[in-house]
Structure 1
Amino acid sequence: MLLHTFLAPLALASVAGPAQQDHYGWIHLFDGKTLEGWTEKGGPYDGDADWSVENGVILGREAEGARGGLLYTEQLFGDFEFECDVKINAPFDSGIFVRMLPQKRGAQFTLDDRPGGELFGIYSNGYLFHQSGGDAAWRSGEWCHTRVRCVGHPMHLMGWIDGKLVVDYQVPEGMDEAFTPEGRIGIQVHGGMNDPEDAAVRFKNLRARRLPPMAGENFTVDESGMMTLTAVGEASGWQPLFNGVNLDGWVPNGGSGPMTAEAFEAAGYRARNGVIEALHSGTAGEIRTARTNYRNFQLRMDFQLTKLANSGVYLRSVDDGTNPSFNGTEVQILDDFNWEAASGSKLAPYQFTGGLYGAVAPSKSALRPIGEWNTYLITCVGSRMNCALNGTLLWDVDTATLEPKGGPPFAERAKAGFIGMQRHGSAAESESEVGASFRNLFIRELPEMGPSAR
């Protein structure tokens, strides 16, 4: 939520670069022309291999003196999937590395296409898992599609070659201190092998997608990034707030009863491709659950922003004609990156994404770049509330002790109410008709003394 409005349309430049996210959450890491977004420095195995771009692929060879090394993404990834096409002119030793940082160990999916080499073994300062079946799926000298999955801490590592699962390895408990929960993805030229002149590795179609928190425990995630409850999730009390098809169970604030899709769109909201879109134009400032008595709960949701988007999540708010940010509570959602420069206004600390509006600033910035999906996990139990963004705890407070900058004290606000999302702003403020998008909305109700989000 921000009360500032623009007086005139703004001319906005689109953000270009190789790391662009598509509709399904995949980040395309290679533009086919340059190594922008990649670095040779960023982990414990920095080197000086011969990396280049030829004919739309990344080409890796040993440099003079049989020097090797890694090429890392500049971006860091925690729980994620990464896939690419790989072609090796054997004999050659390469690999795909995950969660690499200078002071911590990562792990490698080996691509050692030499006699006796292992294809998709797991290596980290020694073999964690020896691979005996990867070569059956590998086609030396041809393009092979590889996919790796890294989740949890300690890591659960899975790898596929041409669609065949060839490794499924869980790093043992007790080893998590040796690894980092987040790091860079790397591709390798091993070096030191004095390979034949034509020996090389080629990579193309490199992309990654971050996986939502709790994926694989309470929820499964499909190719498009949509989550479905598992039996464990259902048994744990999680329930969907959005059916992914239409806005049944939702109403614009101030509205009542079932509405047609056309009426919702006129109000400024629509359901499309499993996503709730908050449009810049419309008659209603908020959309809320038809149910209005949520009291103690955990809420998890994904949100995505366009440039200059301004939104928020309402918790325990009531539809009585007053401001839902202050008759209940609001957790802020905003384009932190561009708002101040575009609006000419200075944000209060609590106005950045993750702030408890009017009261608590986020402890750090955890918002992902515009166009990428983010995940909130918010817990409300009695007067205690906490909020995690993309796995980072932003605050954990007793609202009864806070002195808000606007509205009544939290002790005088509603103790139960609706869950809602804000639509704030106008089409003049952005190039897109959509401001914020929401998906994978799930809630589980808790007893008066429940678990925290930590």
Structure 2
Amino acid sequence: MKKSVLFGTMVTAAAVAQPWTPLFNGKNLDGWRRCNGEARYTVENGEIVGRTVDGSPNSFLCTDREFGDFVFEAEVKVDPRLNSGFQIRSHRYAQATEVRTYNRGWRTRTHEAGRVHGYQVEIASEASNASGGIYDEGRRGWLDNVHCGAFKDNQWNAYRIEARGVSVKTWVNGVACADMVDPVDLSGFIALQVHAYKGPHPAEVRWRNLRIQDLGRSSWKPVDVARWKLDGGGRVERVDGAWRLTQVAAEKPKRGLLLSDREYADFTMRLKYKITRGNSGVFYRVGDVNQRGDLGYEIEVDPTRDLGGFQEPGKRGWILHGKPEDFTANYRPNDWNEMTIHAQGGRHVIHVNGLKTAEFKNDPGRTAGRIALQLNGREDLEVFYKDIEMLEAAK
């Protein structure tokens, strides 16, 4: 039998280079609007200038347009006393919103309606060595806190940002900085930040030569789970738009796997799950289910522990247990939880409810195989899965 291995979900935009489009006309701020704060944005000598105003919170100059996948380049020069950033794929809260932010521990904050939130590529002083890192403004906090040492004070610095699917990469002055995988936002506006500032004199940040290659938008496509087949014990049924998987331990059933109808190599998948009792898992790159050690990888689905834990059943076993504090802060008991799995070659990145629970960059395990939902028969099981989707690259 000829096997079909699905590639393509991680293929980047069309090989033909897209044209560059200026984001700033060098004359005025047409196509931009101020969001939040009172910082003053003006145009001087073909540059956008942002100046602080005492008492103002963070301010943002936002594009009217939204972008999905793109390559963005710009130059920036900032007063070393001031922090700034390029917002990408960003949004504004429609209403007052409570978020959980990690900063030396989890804390809850409420942001007002209209507050800008989203990925921020850091612009900071040479001493801070934070430039080029990625911070989730108004939401989760640091996502990729790199220290690439490329930024220079009191001179123009060249930034390049590439956003393709769940991948965001940054460069500062030609030096590679962040290499982030995050599934939360696939599109949004671009913005220029003037950070809140207190000082004897206003501080300023200048931007010039802003341009973009618009690569289209990646999108989520549903998977036809009705084509998947159950191997082993347990019961699978369709209930209110979800797939209900059950096992009864007293019947001493075989472990069950609801197996995909095709193999996948590189992919990004997301799904929602709700587990009321027992233990389950999402398997991928599964080989021969009858061969111990050929089951690929498993991401733990458990209502009591190991949020997004990562293992290789029958071979290395547990590779990474979930952190108890992450489980307490982020798991939604008796409710829907969202999991995203990104597998590209030896790189694996797992998120649950927007929290990155595991990342490995050069793992030596299997490189292709089927996807499966586990029916673990060691205890009574009831788990629901729905909204199983694959990310399709921009065309």
TM-score range normalised by the length of the shorter chain: 0.3 to 0.5
Q: Under a length normalisation based on structure 1, what TM-score does the superposition of the two structures give?
A: 0.38
The structure with more helix, counted as a fraction of residues: 1
Structure of higher RCO (CA pairs closer than 8 Å, 6+ residues apart): 2
Task: Tell which structure's C-alpha radius of gyration is larger.
Answer: 1
Q: Under a length normalisation based on structure 2, what TM-score does the superposition of the two structures give?
A: 0.43
